[in-house]
Amino acid sequence: MRFIGAEEIHQRLDYPALVEALAECHRRDVDDVGLMVLEQPTPSGKAAHFLTGASWQRGQALGAKLTTLFPDNEYNDSGLPSVQAVYVLFDGTNGSPRAVIDGTLLTLYKTAADSALGARLLAPSAPERMLMVGAGALAPHLIRAHCAVRPSLKKVEIWNRTPERAEALATSLSLNGVDIKATGDLESAARRADIISCATMATEPLILGEWLKPGAHLDLVGSYRPSMHECDEAAVMRASVFVDSPWNAVKESGEIISALASGALVRSDILADTFALARGDHPGRTGDDEITLFKNGGGAHLDLMVAQYLCEGV
């Protein structure tokens, strides 16, 4: 059994290859996926979560990720990320453990690659402007991943509730040929963005549907509980809605759950998931002015896909 730490993950993963690997994985079936979530209050009054996500691809591999999400870490000077995890990969033919993997970095890479695959399948073919909403640990990965699949992106604006965090990220991040700046005007940045990626813990909508310009692609990453919302119902109603899987994105995401409950969205309005898109069962975007919404629900199947990719040839 191997231990694959952060340094090896950085060495072995790059977004163009990882996104292509995820696309190929989505052309095959995953047999079983399960999630358990525990919740406790934090000193700040927010909620901390412990998540156990497992996935099984029969005859190939199975695995589970244990994840802690402590939002106070972003603000209490602990130096720790809000999301920390460990992943265990098992052989699918005999059940023996194959690897223990740094799940924190695995989560960042798989989440960003999931959104980037969504953008490759749904975003405009030649977008120029991206808005990154949120400046946490995921933000630089999402920016790199989106720019990897849409190299036409030339300008990235970063907005965060704490402006200093947006400024710090913009200053620290450098991509060849891409102008990266912080912005304090969320509405204006959203109105001019071709791609909007949200990775926050917002419980009240940040992106309004009336702000989305024709042809925009909205990538929702942050909401993983029914109480969390990164966009309003108007955005859901204006967009062609896609999800990354029939599991977490539909069952756990606040935007999807609320819209289904109110009638603003019905199940048939969810046009396809990444499996159907990758297999060509749905064409994805059908027009230049079409607004697309991709809900990145994460999920244990993605962890399993990336863990197998990491262990290829190991």
Taken in order of first residue, the domains within the chain and their CATH numbers are 2-106+302-311 (3.30.1780.10), 122-299 (3.40.50.720)
Helix (H/G/I), strand (E/B), else coil: 46 = coil
pLDDT at 313: 55
| CB distance 120 to 149 below 8 Å | yes
pLDDT at 250: 85
The stretches in the chain having pLDDT less than 70 are 313-314
pLDDT at 228: 94
- At 255-303, the pLDDT tens digits run 999 999 999 999 999 999 999 999 999 999 999 999 999 999 998 999 9
pLDDT at 184: 97
pLDDT at 79: 87
Report the alpha-carbon distance of residue 207 to residue 198 in Å, rounded: 9
Residues 6+ apart with CB under 8 A from 234: 208, 209, 210
Q: How far is CA 60 from each of CA 24, 140, 298, 312, rounded to the nearest angstrom?
A: 15, 32, 21, 12
pLDDT at 28: 87
